Amino acid sequence: MKFFNIIILLMITVLLLSIQTFSQTADSLKVQVLAPDTLEYETDEVVVTATRVQKKIIDIPYPVVRLKNTQYKFDRKVSVSDVMGSVPGLFMQSRYGNHDVRISIRGFGSRSNTGIRGVRILLDGIPESEPDGQTRIEAIDFNSLGSIEVVKGNSSSLYTNAPGGVINFISDINFPFSMAVMHNEMGSFGYRRNGMKVGVRTDNIGFITTYTYHNYKGFREHSSDYWHILNTFFEVMPGEHSNLQTMFYFADGMIRLPGSLTREEYDTNPRAAAERERDFDFRRISKKGRLGLRYTTAFGSSYNNELEITTYGTIKYFERAQRDIRIMNRYGLGGSARWVNNSVFFGLENEFSLGGDLFYQTGPIESYVNIGGMRSDNLVGLTDETIGNTGVFFQNSTSLIKNKLSLLITGRFDKVVFNQKNQINQFQNDVRRFEDFTPKAALNYKITPYMALYTSFGLSFDSPAGNELDNFPTSSSPGTLLNPDLQPQESKNFEIGIKGNILSESLFLRSVVFELTFFNSIIDNEIVPFEVFGDVFFRNAAQTNRLGFEIGFDAAIVYGINLKTAYTYSSFEYDNYLLESVEMDPSGNIFSNFRDFTGNIVPSVPEQNFNASLSYTVQIFNYVAWFSKIGGIYVSEMYVDDANSAMTESYSLLNLTLGIDVVINRFNFLLSGGFNNLTDEKFVSFININSTSGRFYEGGEPQSYFLSLNLGYNFN
């Protein structure tokens, strides 16, 4: 520990000395201070995810963030929280690496104890989210990405099961010339990540392929994982106004699950595994692949029409070992299409788009008894499951006052179908259908070309995920396969905000990119987890009221020194929640107990979430750039259950990153490293909501280091 403290002090000293050098003249030091990278939510960036058409961020009437890979090239890349923590309104709780990360936007997604819910996840515009909205992100390789687009707030009028928003991970296909890169990363607790990236670029052909091997022993007992991830992207321009893309990935790996702890166990040893998880070797084995094809073309006398058609197929093997062992083989087929027309009506510029999506997934689910981590020889359950989603949407954007005021109206109709058939008991065949229409209207007023006010109101619809429909012994129909009582979650969502970029010719505060949004959501039938005899099931809370605001800004203090902050305030409580719970007394007798949670705070969401970083970039020589960053995170207390029976402590984390980027002719050498959780703070990083056994707590990563070395060559 003394060694680490000495290293930490030395690194902080280096950072301070780096900043101090700025106060001296550049001539005397013979250095050139660099302007910072493109800012995190640059307002003139063109994005597609937010409106499913190409639009500048400043013209979109809700908050959108675009992250470029240059913004996190020096950072550790174990988890999505390593690269996306600075996005206002986004809260992530990591369990072990990049698996089972709980991603929540404005509280949507906070209900999930496994996987991601309420936030639509895309990879190159194709859903990583399954037809029921459940998502695992094993195939996301940060070394293969060029950018990440984040749409915050209700997106149900354009995407399936997206009340919280959309995150689109976009491959690094827009490179200017052919290149080859080897990336290597290592760190504490046996962390290792190695791989390569090769890109080929000609006048009308682009091809990139990446392979990454990830291995991590984990900071908790029984939390190791490994992954092989292969991604390829090929595009060709068959004509001046057309584009054909082929996208493929394959991911193969395993993660062991240490489980959640009681308060006593957590206080004694937060890095221990739960006894049951260790003895029965709780784990997940996953092999998944996807092949996608997309064709885009523009047509018409002035090429004012655009047509895009996408189709894809998926295959997945998933083995989950818990109290039982389930093996799922799933095959999926999906597609989407959209047509966009730009015209002028009555002197007003108008953009209309119409589109649709479908995604069907089917396959058997086998169940076995878990005998000390090994599956039994006898098959105890066999179910054929089909999940399908179809949806159609429209969007119309009208410029009411040219370059000033625009009106956006969108709407989507979705139908989600679950069909389960028991192959052992042929008389069991359950079907549940969920469907709804979700409209949204929004206004955008540009005060200046780089500053805009916006507001929106819309409805959202979020169907239960497949595992959330697992029936439980005390439901209204305990003999059926699918829970007959669980209803879809619906909400009414309002927001108002301002965003923009303030530029100055002065040396101090050259530019400030900012965002401020107030939001209010009224959720009916919120889906929340609960336990029955140790197994997790889901139920509906009557009504929830969510109020909050998000603030983010990225300021160029002076040349080379950047301050980036993100703050989210959340006031989420149950307006009406009367629950009938099934409990057991010390003698083993089962009884019903009515409990009123009205007025209670929604668990697993902090009232305050703050992230800030100060970075310094300087060009030492013509071919050498130095980077240093110190960052901090503050998360306030969180309740662990609907009853508000206990809460976690607030915590503050301090991180440090240093790096050097060397470019000599065609060669590129990038070395970086740093420490996370410098003060070795003990904190709860993940809450297992509503555990009847009191196993709420999963400890966060203690003090750790990482080193990264990338070697590149450009064929230019």
* Tokens read off for 446: 């540009």
Q: Once rounded to an integer, what is the mean pLDDT over residues 336-351?
A: 94
Of 386 and 591, the structure prediction assigns the larger pLDDT to 386
The model's confidence at residue 590, banded by pLDDT at 50, 70 and 90, is low
Closest CA to 80 of 160, 146, 183, 167: 167
Q: Angle at CA 87, nearest 5°, toward 81 and 90?
A: 70
Q: For residue 505, what pLDDT is reported?
A: 76
Closest CA to 461 of 120, 72, 90: 120
CA distances from 403 to 348, 399, 430, 529 (A): 11, 7, 53, 47
List, as one string, the DSSP characters of 353-368: EEEEEEEEEEEEEEEE
208-222, 413-427, 523-537, 549-563, range with the lowest pLDDT: 523-537
Q: For residue 74, what pLDDT is reported?
A: 94
Q: Which residue has the tokens 């990363």?
A: 185
Amino acid making up residue 39: L
* Tokens read off for 449: 């070309």
Beta bridge partners of 292: 247, 312
**424 burial class (0-12, 13-18, 19+ CB within 10 angstroms)?**
exposed
**113 burial class (0-12, 13-18, 19+ CB within 10 angstroms)?**
buried
Closest CA to 432 of 476, 387, 393, 472: 387
Answer yes or no: are the C-beta atoms of 232 and 290 closer than 8 Å: no
Please write the tens of the pLDDT for every residue from 76-87. 988 888 889 889
With a cut of 70, say whether residue 97 has pLDDT above it.
no
Question: In whole angstroms, what is the distance from residue 39 CA to residue 564 CA?
Answer: 9
Task: Look up residue 470 and give its DSSP letter.
Answer: B
* Tokens read off for 34: 């660099």
68-72, 115-119, 148-152, 646-650, range with the lowest pLDDT: 115-119
**346 burial class (0-12, 13-18, 19+ CB within 10 angstroms)?**
exposed
The full set of domain ranges for the chain reads 2-714
CATH topology of domain 2-714: Maltoporin; Chain A (2.40.170)
The pTM assigned to this predicted structure is 0.91
User: Largest Cα–Cα distance in the chain?
Assistant: 85
Using only C-alpha atoms, the chain has a radius of gyration, in whole angstroms, of: 25
Q: Once rounded to an integer, what is the mean pLDDT over residues 413-441?
A: 91
Question: In whole angstroms, what is the distance from residue 339 CA to residue 352 CA?
Answer: 8
Task: Quote the mean pLDDT of the chain.
Answer: 88
Please write the tens of the pLDDT for every residue from 437-480. 999 999 999 999 999 999 999 999 899 888 888 888 777 788 78
Is 77 in a helix, a strand, or coil? coil
With a cut of 60, say whether residue 3 has pLDDT above it.
no
Question: In whole angstroms, what is the distance from residue 456 CA to residue 459 CA?
Answer: 10
CA distances from 105 to 3, 145, 290 (A): 39, 22, 27
- What's the residue count for the chain? 716
- The HSE-up count of residue 268 (CA atoms within 13 Å, CB side) is 8
Answer yes or no: are the C-beta atoms of 153 and 459 closer than 8 Å: no
